[in-house]
Structure 1
Amino acid sequence: MLDVDTPVTAVPAISGTTRVYALLGDPIAQVRAPGLLNPVLARRGTDAVLVPVHVTAADLGPVVRGLRQMANLDGMLVTVPHKAAVLALADRVTDRARLTGSANALRREPDGTWTADTFDGDGFVRGLVGAGHDPRGGRVCLVGAGGAGSAIAVALLDAGVAALRLVDTDPGRLDALHGRLSPVYPGRVSASPHPLLADVDLAVNATPLGLRPGDPLPFPVGDLPAHAVVADIIMTPVETALLRAASARDLTVQPGLPMLAHQIEAYLEFFRL
């Protein structure tokens, strides 16, 4: 993983030559990517900056089309709730983004077209493995079949999990993801409207539940076996209510920030920085 913790001693001034990257989301106050990526760019002497942009779902299309007209904007990162909708706004979509049905990065090509890809899943799995929780051969319950959840599902299956149980309260979204994955990973993917946790090795929250105080838990930690790892993709707060509840049961927990930290190098490569 790229070092994202070394303090920045000098930050290059933003000028007329600075290349701009936008991070689109709603809400946006919780995002951690600018605080991780901008110091890395500064240390490398790269004349570029990542700026958060608060965009509602209703305004996503007009905003993306407008941003595409900015001659000094070279890319976009995408977070909740836009990762599925943004696919239709790209000119080109990678195979893995098409399989997941979502993207969290768009890059301007030399000819002015835009390519979409997804890195959430790779970052999540690399974070797990880096913490000593290799999912290979395990049974996983993944709650949330949205943009991040779909990317994590593909990455977990590619990492060799024995069984992946998809859960979402939206039947259409759940069925769509299950329908895309089942033919590619036969016999390894199931779907349920409710979390079934008694036999799993890893339980993952890939929903926005936990962003706001008072959110209900995405699944009951009391149903998990004692050896299970509980992972949350929420990054702010660092310790969500789910992780607190899991820790109170002496379950092993995996917070959300490593998923992003392990994506930084992939972003730099994707954006050719």
Structure 2
Amino acid sequence: MTIDGKTAVLVHLACPAAHLQTPQRFNPRCVARQINAVLVPWQVKPDHLALTMNALRHAESLAGAIVTIPHKETCARLCDRLEGVAETLQVANVIRREADGTLTGRILDGEGFVGGLRERGIALQGRSALIVGAGGVALAIAAALIEAGVTRLRVANRTAARAEAMVDRLRQLGSGSVALEVGQADPTGFDLAVNATSLGMHDGDALPIPADLITPGMTVAEVVMVPKVTPLLQEAADRGAATVPGEAMITGQIDPFIDFVLGTARDATELNKD
């Protein structure tokens, strides 16, 4: 990769940032597609996010940003406009800087997550799903699962009020064919159980789902990417369940990230003409 004065820069907003795996996939893909762009991790504390977002509006070499924990909902509120389901859910994980400095956000987490399941032959139509967590990534995944045809979806979260708020937002999607509920992180009777929290990222974290309730025949999926095999996934595999690592969600988003921020209408080489 050659970086020069015309390179379009994207920043990956996170806190912490040491675990990020997207730049390692994004940058080689830009090389393969002959796009003059680079994605750089940026660790930004929540208290400084608004100031950072405002600064990005004035950086003319900046094409956009990818957003991860814990910034997805706050970034959505700081965007000038949201596209697609991001507008309804008020959550974003990718931002495009327009020529006038305004910021447009979308959410691709759900699309990537469902794509990762389908690549592994996991059917979703008519199935049931448990999602543990009620943050931005959980919300996006839930919306995508509803669109993919699940008929029952439970949200479990440490703070029940936050889970209730998430279910209320999902109802705004207008899908009356899905039974939405708030409950415990008990996977009994569910086809799919998803950890959409950061639990498992650090040594000593509690399991987000009780291991003794995982049974053969169900699928257990992660959003945590490091370690690749979290304690939850190891417990699930030991009990005969199918497992899907967190990296599957990111792999399915790389080209959509590039297309949204650096699409043909905004060729990266045109961002910084002499």
TM-score bracket, shorter-length normalisation:
over 0.9
1:81 is aligned to 70
Determine which of 130, 133, 139 is the counterpart of 1:150: 139
Q: Does 1:45 align with 2:34?
A: yes
Q: Percent identity?
A: 37
Determine which of 192, 196, 203 is the counterpart of 2:182: 192
SS at match of 2:49: helix
CA RMSD after TM alignment: 1.3
State the number of aligned residues: 262
Stretch deviating more after TM superposition (184-193 or 98-107):
184-193
SS at match of 1:64: helix
Determine which of 243, 258, 262 is the counterpart of 1:268: 258
Determine which of 42, 60, 79 is the counterpart of 1:71: 60
Q: Does 1:179 align with 2:179?
A: no
Q: Deviations over 1:109-166 (max 9, x none)?
A: 2333211100000000010011011211111101111011000000000000011111
Q: Is the 8 A contact 2:186 2:210 kept in 1?
A: no
Return the alpha-carbon distance in structure 2 between the equivalents of residues 189 and 61 of structure 1: 37
Q: Is the 8 A contact 1:209 1:217 kept in 2?
A: yes
Q: Does 1:205 align with 2:205?
A: no
Q: Does 1:121 align with 2:121?
A: no
1:242 is aligned to 232
Q: Is the 8 A contact 1:169 1:193 kept in 2?
A: no
Read off the aligned partner of 2:195 and give its amino acid letter: N
- What's the CA shift for 1:193? 4.5
Q: Is the 8 A contact 1:235 1:256 kept in 2?
A: yes
Return the alpha-carbon distance in structure 2 between the equivalents of residues 115 and 60 of structure 1: 16
- What's the CA shift for 1:187? 5.2
Return the alpha-carbon distance in structure 2 between the equivalents of residues 159 and 187 of structure 1: 12
Moved over 3 A (4+): none
Return the alpha-carbon distance in structure 1 between the equivalents of residues 177 and 149 of structure 2: 13
2:269 is aligned to none
Q: Is the 8 A contact 1:182 1:188 kept in 2?
A: no
SS at match of 1:198: coil
Q: Is the 8 A contact 1:182 1:189 kept in 2?
A: no
Q: Does 1:92 align with 2:87?
A: no
1:33 is aligned to 22
Q: Is the 8 A contact 1:166 1:189 kept in 2?
A: no
Read off the aligned partner of 1:269 and give its amino acid letter: D
Calculate the TM-score normalised by the size of structure 2.
Answer: 0.92
Report matched runs for 1:47-62 at 5 Å. Answer: 47-62=36-51
Stretch deviating more after TM superposition (185-194 or 38-47):
185-194
- What's the CA shift for 1:182? 2.4
Q: Deviations over 1:12-66 (max 9, x none)?
A: x211211100000001111111000001111222111000000011111111111
2:96 is aligned to 107
Q: Is the 8 A contact 1:202 1:231 kept in 2?
A: yes
- What's the CA shift for 1:221? 2.7
Read off the aligned partner of 2:245 and give its amino acid letter: P
Q: Is the 8 A contact 1:200 1:225 kept in 2?
A: no
Stretch deviating more after TM superposition (195-204 or 219-228):
219-228
Q: Deviations over 1:88-121 (max 9, x none)?
A: 1100012301233311001012333211100000
1:259 is aligned to 249
Calculate the TM-score normalised by the size of structure 1.
Answer: 0.92
Structure 1 unaligned residues grouped into runs of 5+: 1-10
Return the alpha-carbon distance in structure 2 between the equivalents of residues 22 and 95 of structure 1: 22
1:7 is aligned to none
Structure 2 unaligned residues grouped into runs of 5+: 264-274
